Amino acid sequence: MSGKTPLVRVSCEFFPTSTDEGAEKLDGVRQALSVLDCEYFSVTYGAGGSTRERTLQTVRRILDEQSTKVMPHLTCVAAKRSNIESILDIYQEWGVTQLMALRGDMPSGMYQAGDLHNARELVSLVRERWGETAKIYVAAYPEIHPRSKTPEDDLRHFKDKVDAGANEAVTQYFYNVDAFLRFRDDATRIGVDIPIVPGVMPITNYKQLARFSDMCGAQIPRWIRKRLEAYQDNKQDLRAFGAEVVATMCARLIDEGVDALHFYSMNREDAVLAVAQELGWVGQ
Ligand SMILES: Cc1cc2nc3c(=O)[nH]c(=O)nc-3n(C[C@H](O)[C@H](O)[C@H](O)COP(=O)(O)OP(=O)(O)OC[C@H]3O[C@@H](n4cnc5c(N)ncnc54)[C@H](O)[C@@H]3O)c2cc1C
If you take atom 29 of ligand 1, which residue's CA is the nearest one? Answer: 119
Q: How far apart are CA 284 and CA 278, in angstroms?
A: 9
User: Which pLDDT score is estimated for 268?
Assistant: 97
pLDDT of residue 3: 61
Q: Which residues contact 20 (CB under 8 A, 6 or more apart)?
A: none
Residue 21 bears catalytic tag: no
Distance from the alpha carbon of residue 55 to the mean position of ligand 1, in angstroms: 18
The domains of the chain, with CATH numbers, are 9-278 (3.20.20.220)
- Of 56, 77, 118, which is best to mutate to test ligand 1, by the most ligand atoms within 8 angstroms of its C-beta? 118
Hey, whose CA ends up nearest to atom 43 of ligand 1?
157
> Pocket around ligand 1: residues whose beta carbon is below 6 Å from it?
44-47, 73, 75, 100, 102-105, 118-120, 139, 145, 147-148, 153-154, 157, 161, 170, 172, 199
Give the mean model confidence (pLDDT) for residues 75-89. 97
| Choice among 86-90, 125-129, 193-197, 205-209 with the minimum mean pLDDT | 205-209
Instruction: State residue 221's pLDDT score.
Output: 95
Alpha-carbon distance values, 173 to 52, 202, 205, 219, 254 (Å): 24, 9, 15, 9, 16
pLDDT at 111 over 90: no
Contact present, 250 and 276 (Cβ < 8 Å): no
- Taking only the tens place, the pLDDT of each residue in 222-261 is 999 999 999 988 999 999 999 999 999 999 999 999 999 9
Separation between Cα atoms, residue 22 and residue 28, nearest integer Å: 10
Atom of ligand 1 nearest to the CA of 44: 8
Is 1's pLDDT higher than 90?
no
Confidence of residue 91 (pLDDT cuts 50, 70, 90): very high
Task: State residue 212's pLDDT score.
Answer: 94
Instruction: Give the pLDDT of residue 2.
Output: 55
C-beta separation of 42 from 10 below 8 A: no
Q: Which of 144, 157, 214 to mutate to test the pocket of ligand 1 (most atoms within 8 A of CB)?
A: 157
Q: Please name the residue whose Cα sits nearest to atom 10 of ligand 1.
A: 104
